[in-house]
Amino acid sequence: MPGFNSMTLMVSDLKKCTFISAAGKSRIAVRDASFDFICVRGFGKTDIARGDVVGSADNAPTIATEFTAQMVVLNHPTVITVGYTPVFHIHTAQVACQITAIEKKLNPATGEVVAENPDFIKNGDAAIVKVKPVQPLVIEKQKDIPQMSRFAIRDSGQTVAAGMCIDLVKK
């Protein structure tokens, strides 16, 4: 993967894991919290940052260039349209992401499709949207690892929406 470095490290239960570094910054967070601690040699405290992901060497964490999400608008002062770029809080990462398409508007109670390709969504609406992160992002599909698929969307100091990744495009 261009721009990403990978190394093998050992964790407390002696499983091998993969370490991913993106754009000069380390990317590590625990995918499987079944172990007590991680011992990494050759890295300083400043090399590991919020949003970093550690996963199995056999099944490395997924870096997404784009993902499809199901989300619910909780408290937004206006409407959300294509081009909106808030901060997504995914696991411990905080990454600006742009909404590139609003594919479907859903009934929040039943999940049935109310409208295809709506122009906007507003408070109380649920929708299927395409999202493009402005920098590399580790996220998983809801059906694979639910804990790594959920996110909150924050803008102007408040949570405006929440959702989960249902599909993604791998880097």
| pLDDT value of residue 2 | 40
Residues 26 and 94 in one domain: no
pTM of the model: 0.77
46-79 tens-digit pLDDT? 766 777 777 666 778 888 999 999 999 999 999 9
Q: Going by DSSP bridges, is the β-strand pair 137-138/113-116 parallel, antiparallel, or unpaired?
A: unpaired
From 56, 81, 98, give the residue that closes a domain: 56
CB 67 within 8 A of CB 128: no
Range of the domain at 11: 4-56
Count of domains observed in the chain:
2
129 in the same domain as 111: yes
Q: Please indicate, yes or no, whether residues 69 and 16 belong to a single structural domain of this protein.
A: no
Q: How confident is the model at residue 159 (pLDDT cuts 50, 70, 90)?
A: very high
pLDDT at 143 over 90: yes
The span from the CA of 133 to the CA of 160, in Å, is 17
37 in the same domain as 116: no
pLDDT computed for residue 80 by the predictor: 97
| 148 closest CA partner among 42, 59, 39 | 59
The CA distance from 76 to 85, in Å, is: 13
